[in-house]
Amino acid sequence: MSVTIVIVGFRAYEELERCLASLARHEPGARIIVVDHAADEAAGRRIAAFPGVTYVGRRENPGFGAGVNHAAREASGSHLLLLNPDCEIGGPIVAPLVSVLEAHPEAGIVGGLVRDALGGVQASGRRFPNITTAIAGRTSWLSRVAPGNPLSRWNLTTVPSEGIARVDWVSGAFVLIRREAFDAVGGFDEAFFLYWEDADFCRRAADAGWQTLYAPVAEVVHYTARASLHAPVRSLWAFHQSALRYYWKHGSWVARMGTPLVAAGLAGRFLVRIVPWARRARHAK
């Protein structure tokens, strides 16, 4: 089996260079495609010099899903391994994940273990979003202050360190996808600019008969949202806009009748999140 590593970047060049350096150490010989949105020419030359890298600089920034699809058109092989540019690896990641899919032919997607900068485990195996996700999702207030509550435990899959579990979806920060499954659903939905496109992809894959697995057999350290720091307001808005799109796209006709209320709730959540940021930004000037 052959694997192409796909990295979609947006201005986080320092993190991207650390990511590529870790790949050069632990995955020598890997084929890597870097799609660089809103590309800086000088930084792009540095990225292109890393071993195994095919560099694709794009002036525009059409979003994460569009970047993945662009890389997929350039890629060859039987698998795509998506890796965020703000991730680093400390050991091999390709072979362990490939071995999981080899052992589970019914699965088209497998996510690995994702740690934060302090070593904590980020919940990357999850249930498909529903109304409870708003209050008990990975980044919700309830999950932060009471991570052991029943709703958060239901939304965020917990897997023993040696185990493999079937889940609804996994984070796109670190995931291996069979090319056959990717092509079967037409890749990522480019209408999701940023966030929730991974949940949508896994949902469509499930509808097409492919399983998604979470397997902590390989791990990365994810420094989280470094690219979004370069466009914080747009990124936060994209999160809520994509959540609404997911709700409309996958909700029943009864659920869709509540779209105005959901949109109002998401708009309120956006304002709650953006006001403290705006105050900090004003004081920093």
The string of pLDDT tens digits covering residues 15-45 is 999 999 999 999 999 999 999 999 999 999 9
pLDDT at 226 over 60: no
Say which residue, 124 or 58, is predicted with more confidence: 58
Q: Which residues have C-beta within 8 Å of that of residue 119, sequence separation ≥ 6?
A: none
Cβ atoms of residues 168 and 212 within 8 Å: yes
Any idea which fold 3-229 has?
Spore Coat Polysaccharide Biosynthesis Protein SpsA; Chain A (3.90.550)
The per-residue pLDDT for 285 is 52
The per-residue pLDDT for 131 is 74
pLDDT at 145 over 80: no
What are the extents of the domains in the chain?
A: 3-229, 230-284
Beta bridge partners of 36: 9, 57
The per-residue pLDDT for 172 is 96
- For residue 157, what pLDDT band results from cuts at 50, 70 and 90? low
Say which residue, 230 or 270, is predicted with more confidence: 270
The per-residue pLDDT for 269 is 84
Say which residue, 278 or 248, is predicted with more confidence: 248
The per-residue pLDDT for 279 is 65
- For residue 283, what pLDDT band results from cuts at 50, 70 and 90? low
Q: Which residues have C-beta within 8 Å of that of residue 38, sequence separation ≥ 6?
A: 10, 11, 58, 59, 60, 61
C-alpha span between 149 and 174 (Å, rounded): 26
pLDDT at 171 over 70: yes
C-alpha span between 65 and 74 (Å, rounded): 15
78-94 mean pLDDT? 97
Lowest mean pLDDT among 17-26, 155-164, 247-256: 155-164
- For residue 148, what pLDDT band results from cuts at 50, 70 and 90? confident
For the chain, the average pLDDT equals 89
pLDDT at 276 over 80: no
- For residue 270, what pLDDT band results from cuts at 50, 70 and 90? confident
**What are the distances in angstroms from CA 169 to CA 5, 139, 165, 202, 222?**
20, 16, 11, 5, 18
Place of tokens 């490939």: 98
Helix axes 197-207, 64-74, angle to 10 degrees: 60
Which tokens hold the place of 170?
């996994």
Rounded to 10 degrees, the C-alpha dihedral 131/134/137/139 comes to: 170
The alpha carbons of the chain give a radius of gyration, in whole angstroms, of 18
C-alpha span between 240 and 265 (Å, rounded): 10
Give the distance between the most distant pair of CA atoms in the chain. Answer: 55
